[in-house]
Amino acid sequence: MLTLVTGSSGLIGSEAVAFFDAKGFDVVGVDNNMRRDLFGPKGDTTLNRQRLERECKRFTHRTIDIRDREAIDKVFRELPIELVIHSAAQPSHDLAASRPFDDFEINAMGTLNLLEATRRHRPDAVFIHVSTNKVYGDGPNHLALSELPTRYDFADPAFAQGIDETFSIDRTTHSLFGASKAAGDLMAQEYGRYFGMKTGVFRGGCLTGPQHAGVELHGFLNYLVHCAMNDRPYTVFGYKGKQVRDQIHCHDVISAFWEFAQSPRAGEVYNLGGGKANAASLMECVEMVAAATGKRLQTTYDPRNRAGDHICYYTDMAKFRAHYPSWRQAFSLDAIIRQMCDCTAARREVA
């Protein structure tokens, strides 16, 4: 099975490359290190790409911008692609506001380029689109919430297990990032429903892992660990630090994709996250990182929350689990944090 991975040097893309290479599949990665352009040197994914080229025997890298329609079409025309993992994206709320054309062209037009190239040349391929829970905008913020000592939580028992796929994406503030991702999300659905293609849309929450090039504007848990272990201050934006997220390890993300790839459905949508068991507030994560590292993080507080940011969000995974009952979530939140700390320490020793 020839697998094409976009954003192959990033968190989800690199995990997909390693996963499918280990299964004996040929893997072609498409990545132009746009993360460095977006986030500066701290976002550079070159080392991740070099690691994949060194360790993955069946991996080939191509430096292509997914906005380049002709280059994308050429890849699909020339290669017998059977599976697409589309994880390339502009991932930041804040940058979307300052670079709206880049944001929309990457998240919406780049996705359309890939979908159309698939339809024209490889219509039987499975196409997995990595979307985001930000397509729901700030809708979850309008639910009844309970304020607890260290976190917010849903007050309505209907949301006891989190947000499911029936939650509306309308009449909310999304941020420009949320809007551009919603456009790509809907296009991927439509290519499944209208053309009958095997498209699966996964609305991810906090997708994380030790290879994440976390920065202040994206990848908060990895960045939190980085700040703690390097004695750097961390700024908490809004909601008293009680905002809640559920973390899911990139390995669990890719194993979910593999379940879908083996038995795909046309135009299906799944929420994807760590679920209630892996949900914690920012304040609670600070304490967990301190316990794991033995270092007390220096935090400053900015009362201005980010536009469209969620106060409380964790994922109801019931639909995906019902469709793919053999999927197992391997990483708890504690295990994720411990692994991040261990890997950060190991990198420092090598350096």
pLDDT digits (tens, 9 = 90+) for 289-335: 999 988 888 899 999 887 668 999 999 999 999 999 999 999 999 99
User: Are 90 and 106 a contacting pair, CB within 8 Å?
Assistant: yes
Residue 309: predicted pLDDT:
81
The string of pLDDT tens digits covering residues 204-232 is: 989 998 875 555 555 678 888 888 888 89
66-69: long-range pairs with CB below 8 Å, 24+:
66/6, 66/30, 66/106, 66/110, 66/111, 66/113, 66/114, 67/105, 67/106, 67/109, 67/110, 67/113, 68/113, 69/113
Residue 123 is predicted with a pLDDT of: 98
More confident residue, 343 or 211: 343
Quote the mean pLDDT of the chain.
94
pLDDT at 135 over 70: yes
What's the DSSP call for residue 170?
S
Length of the chain: 351
Structure confidence by residue, pLDDT tens digits, 86-131: 999 999 888 999 999 999 999 999 999 999 999 999 999 999 999 9
Position 172 confidence tier, pLDDT thresholds 50, 70, 90: very high
SS3 307: coil
Looking at residue 216, its pLDDT comes to 59
Q: How many CB atoms lie within 10 A of CB 28?
A: 20
The whole-number pLDDT of residue 73 equals 98
Q: Are 87 and 12 in contact (CB under 8 A)?
A: yes
Nearest residue to 194 via CA among 266, 107, 265: 266
Would you say residue 24 has pLDDT above 60? yes
Structural domain boundaries in the chain: 3-350
pLDDT value of residue 344? 79
Q: What predicted TM-score, i.e. pTM, was given to this entire model?
A: 0.94
Q: pLDDT by residue (tens digit) across 41-89? A: 988 999 999 999 999 999 999 999 999 999 999 999 999 999 999 999 9
Between 140-144, 156-160, 204-208, the lowest mean confidence (pLDDT) is in: 204-208
Q: At 83, which helix (H) or strand (E)?
A: strand 83-86
Is the pLDDT at 348 greater than 90? The verdict is no
Q: CA distances (Å), 17 to each of 10, 105, 109, 175, 186, in order? A: 10, 24, 24, 30, 26
54 strand-pairing partners = none
pLDDT in the model for residue 294: 87
Residue 40 scores a pLDDT above 80: yes
Residues linked to residue 152 through DSSP beta bridges, in sequence order: 147
Fold of the 3-350 domain: Rossmann fold (3.40.50)
